[in-house]
Structure 1
Amino acid sequence: MFTTRNSLNTIELEKSLRNITIDGYMSQIMVVLSTGPFLIAFALLLGANNFLIGLIVAIPSLLQVLKIFSIQLVEKKRKRRAITIFSLILYRLSILSIALIPFLFSIKFGLIFLIIFLIIQSVFASIGHTAWASWMHDTIPINQLGAFYSRRMTLSSLVSLFASLLAALFIDYFVLNKLKQQIYGYSVLFFIAFLFGMISIYFISNISEPQMIKPEVEIKFLRTISQPFKDKNYRKLLIFLGVWSFAINLATPFFTVYMLKKLEFTITLVIILTIINQLTIVIFLRIWGRLIDNFSNKSVLNLCCPLYIICIFAWTFTTLPGIYLLTIPLLVIIHVFMGISMSGILLATQNISLKLAPKGKGNPYLAVASALTSLALGISPIIGGIFADYFEASELSWTLNWASPNGSLSFQTLNLQGFDFYFLFAFFIGLISLSLLVKVNEIGEVNRKVIIHELILGMKKTFSGLSFITGIERMAISPKSIIYHPTKSKHKKKGIKSLKNKIK
């Protein structure tokens, strides 16, 4: 069952890519039902305060640091499929344990066991994802990474959108009918997430595994994990990813808390806004995927990162100081542009970590990148949670006053309270991270004008007729187009080179 192959032939590669794609559907449903708004709302029902919310959000990221130590296990056993399957099964059993909390424990102890089960879940997720990343690094053709991952993420996101909306309506049924058993509704969601997670294991087990490339010289563990830091360019990438991750996760995890507590939105309205965001991500994944393959990851990041931090800053204008006429329209606009930018960021950060890692040494490079990014992602929400109560009692406002003989007029242009300070702080740290991105070198980098031009062309193609729907159907039926048609890609690159010369 866990045999490896020297190399994968065309049939094995096609079958593996299909199973990777289907696993994306199943695992994405599992994730969307057991994390994000549903997990935060579940924790709030158990009585979690701002600090505990920050801790709950931080646990999965902080324990991703274990990926560094997982390298040793992967390098020693060299059976990535076996390690992945074993670890991810235990990950899914932890989700089942969380589903049983309301049935086994009181609210007082429920929160404690929620944290314990999340820690266990995150430990095995860290081990499993380390083996998975190395496995995929050697399985998916390097020149198709952008296109393949954009297709996989597109289809997975579409499936998860429907699942999340149905789940939100299911939870709000308990709320609208004032049922005291609302917390049991979340248990049902987590149990369904567990079932889809186990289905994904079946497809993962049917993915072929190429043999790991053996290093010419046996390298000790500490020397192995130090390799990425000795690579000057990769070290610059690690610094950027760390600062960027800290900036966005200082604010992003609290968007849901902000809407549920301060704006007092229903879980359905929160999920609808999330769906708007995810739909935008789905639409633009294909566009960014093509641009990454034709140009570079850094070129896409140069456009997407500034747009995302502007969206974080825009959250400070959603209340003046409470809900007002433009609150919901502004939130819709913010979620749309966050989706546009995040789709490019997700693909580009994942692919640039793969691309800049030397062939055959992907395991330590990817593990260190993931671990440092996760450390930054974990520290920031804890810092946010610690100071939440202090800032919640603070306020900074800016009011314009007009006085004349006929009367006076006051207009409040800015009002910062509570989480608004985090959003503003995250915005400024995000600006700092942009200066660090400039120092990273990647082959294929082009001027931002070229990317904007190609982005507009991609948007026109996507939104014209039914081309988007047709593309989704083709992707769902067969991944063959990911492997074949090398001639087309060559023509595209020639056309793009001429475009670059014209713009220059």
Structure 2
Amino acid sequence: MKLRPFEKISSNQLNSGLNLVIADGLSAEAMVVFTSGTFLTAMAIHMGATNLQLGILAALPTFTTMFQLLAIWLVQRFNNRKVVTTVFNFLARLPLIAIGIIPFIFTGGTTVQVLIILLFFQHIFGDIGGAAWNSWMKDLIPGERLGSFFSHRSRMAQTLNVMLSLATAIGIDYVKSHYPQNEILTYNILFMLGGILGMVSVGLLLRTPEPKAQAINDKLFTLFGKPLKNKNFRSLLIFNSFWAFALNLATPFFAVYMMKTLGLPVAYIIGLGIAGQLSSIISIKLWGRYSDKFSNKNIVSICGPLYVACIIAYAIVPANNVTTALTLLAIIHILSGIATAGINLALSNIGIKLAPNSEAIAYISTKNMLVAFTSTIAPMIGGLLADFFASHPLNWSVQWHGMHLQLLNLQGWSYFFVIGGLLALLSLRLLNKVKEQGEINQYRMVAQMRVKLRSKLRANLGRRVTDGLYYPSVVVKRNVVRVLNAERSLRRSA
């Protein structure tokens, strides 16, 4: 195990390192499953958290991103991203273990206030380590493999997420049914287990090679200002910040809405989450391939409107009909899983792609901090205004010849879903100002995707189907000619 950076990394070292990065992603994903998301929300609600406290918990992961500024100074001072990453990731796991062992030491157990304080420090240390990790990965992973590698890593991590989430949800529901007095203790044990798995992640990173980075000689605030002076990167910052604000006005409260307003049990919510994860797993390989072949910007422009539609659709989910609600939620989660797979991959990749190699940590950290600032404000505003909107419903219905048709029924969290969705839709217009190398016209990308799909269909058109029937030859010829003509047209326009 070598802690110092390598002057040159061999092909074998690179392949071994990439495998370790994937293993690190799996152990870190397991940690995230046990200590965040729906399980954290359920734990906080069971502990009696207010809407404001739920908003603070949702804002913590983004609020603490401002501490990535310290990561820039540490990397500049020591020029060793592996050490910075592993040391601060180690410190980030300690609060999780502390949350897990508190009930075994103090009879009062964990309170919401203690939970918020410990998670605050966990996110601070994690963000510092994460900023150094981003710069490290920028130099380690070849640019032409960036999209396919991270899509593969994400797909494996999401598969693990699905299995662990399902098993954990079943376990929690069993405890709630048979041993309700031990529900909070179960959540504490999950935190302890998550912290331990996080330590495994640290061990894997210690074995991963780090290529030597170019020394950063500029002053800290000079580095911080460079991304703001870069016109193209500044356009990315404006879009990403506005997009993050719009999304975080609504998305952190999906689980709260399903628990409090719709009254769904945790197992149902986890099941819906799994449906979204599965659709994400299936689609992310496609987005990774098109990210390398076309551009990340085009992927956002396609997936963004779909995700906005999913956010707004939450507002029309009925609270008085469980069957209809679950059906609509299942469709929403499946479509949003497809959309978020492309959006998350593309936004991460485009930030890495547009950042200069010598100053990647400054550019990526600046992006993360500005996005975090807007992402932090949104759920806190949501938490503060939730009670106001709950007591000010908006109903719009039409009555005609004895028929009563309800067109709109907004109350509580529904306001945020509509407002957040519309703001996100407006923010997509800002994406046009971002320029990305290798970018092609969006319609050409969609056309090529259609041609590829038709090519696959063409390969099966003349084959015998399982029941012994054949496709008519005239239909085969007509479809083959259409696909070939489309391919020739695209090649001429390229």
TM over 0.5: yes
Matches within 5 A, 1:214-253: 214-215=215-216, 218-253=217-252
CA distance in 2: counterparts of 1:456 and 1:258, whole angstroms: 38
CA distance in 1: counterparts of 2:444 and 2:290, whole angstroms: 10
State the AA in 2 paired with 1:447: N
Query: 1:336-374 CA distances to partner (integer Å, 9 max, x unpaired)?
Result: 110111000111000100111112211100110111111
Query: 1:76-118 CA distances to partner (integer Å, 9 max, x unpaired)?
Result: 1111111111111111111111223444557796111101101
User: Residue in 2 aligned with 1:175?
Assistant: 176
| CA positional deviation for 1:458 | 6.9
User: Residue in 2 aligned with 1:467?
Assistant: none
Query: 1:16-51 CA distances to partner (integer Å, 9 max, x unpaired)?
Result: 001001111111111111100011111111110111
Contact in 2 for aligned 1:247/1:429 (Cα 8 Å): yes
User: Residue in 2 aligned with 1:314?
Assistant: 313
Aligned residue among 377, 386, 390 for 2:384? 386
CA distance in 2: counterparts of 1:43 and 1:304, whole angstroms: 32
Aligned residue among 349, 370, 378 for 1:351? 349
Matches within 5 A, 1:200-349: 200-215=201-216, 218-319=217-318, 322-323=320-321, 325-349=323-347
User: Residue in 2 aligned with 1:430?
Assistant: 424
User: Residue in 1 aligned with 2:144?
Assistant: 143
State the AA in 2 paired with 1:160: N
Say if 1:304 and 1:317 are closer, same or farther in 2 by CA, change over 3 A.
Answer: same
User: Residue in 1 aligned with 2:363?
Assistant: 365
Query: 1:44-65 CA distances to partner (integer Å, 9 max, x unpaired)?
Result: 1111011100001101210111
Query: 1:218-244 CA distances to partner (integer Å, 9 max, x unpaired)?
Result: 311111110101100000000001000
Contact in 2 for aligned 1:61/1:378 (Cα 8 Å): yes
State the AA in 1 paired with 2:169: A
User: Residue in 2 aligned with 1:81?
Assistant: 82
Structure of greater Rg: 2
| CA positional deviation for 1:401 | 1.1
CA distance in 1: counterparts of 2:456 and 2:159, whole angstroms: 16
Task: Verify: 1:158 aligned to 2:159, yes or no.
Answer: yes
Contact in 1 for aligned 2:103/2:110 (Cα 8 Å): no
Matches within 5 A, 1:46-57: 46-57=47-58
Task: Verify: 1:14 aligned to 2:15, yes or no.
Answer: yes
The percent identity for this pair of structures is 35
CA distance in 2: counterparts of 1:361 and 1:329, whole angstroms: 48
State the AA in 2 paired with 1:452: V
| CA positional deviation for 1:444 | 2.2
Long gaps (5+) in structure 1: 465-495
CA distance in 2: counterparts of 1:454 and 1:272, whole angstroms: 35
Say if 1:499 and 1:335 are closer, same or farther in 2 by CA, change over 3 A.
Answer: farther
CA distance in 2: counterparts of 1:455 and 1:315, whole angstroms: 30
TM-score when normalising by structure 2: 0.90
State the AA in 2 paired with 1:428: L
Contact in 2 for aligned 1:64/1:126 (Cα 8 Å): yes
| CA positional deviation for 1:326 | 2.0
CA distance in 2: counterparts of 1:266 and 1:462, whole angstroms: 42
Contact in 1 for aligned 2:307/2:335 (Cα 8 Å): yes
CA distance in 2: counterparts of 1:105 and 1:417, whole angstroms: 41
CA distance in 1: counterparts of 2:271 and 2:144, whole angstroms: 36
After the TM superposition, which of the residue ranges 191-200 and 309-318 deviates more from structure 2?
A: 191-200
Long gaps (5+) in structure 2: 459-485
Task: Verify: 1:447 aligned to 2:441, yes or no.
Answer: yes
Contact in 1 for aligned 2:102/2:109 (Cα 8 Å): no
User: Residue in 2 aligned with 1:131?
Assistant: 132
Aligned-CA RMSD value: 2.3
Contact in 2 for aligned 1:91/1:124 (Cα 8 Å): yes
TM-score when normalising by structure 1: 0.88
CA distance in 2: counterparts of 1:305 and 1:2, whole angstroms: 41
Say if 1:109 and 1:13 are closer, same or farther in 2 by CA, change over 3 A.
Answer: closer
State the AA in 2 paired with 1:28: E
Aligned residue among 405, 414, 421 for 1:420? 414
| CA positional deviation for 1:68 | 2.0
How many residue pairs get matched?
468
Query: 1:415-466 CA distances to partner (integer Å, 9 max, x unpaired)?
Result: 11100000111012112211111111112222333333444567789999xx
Task: Verify: 1:402 aligned to 2:400, yes or no.
Answer: yes
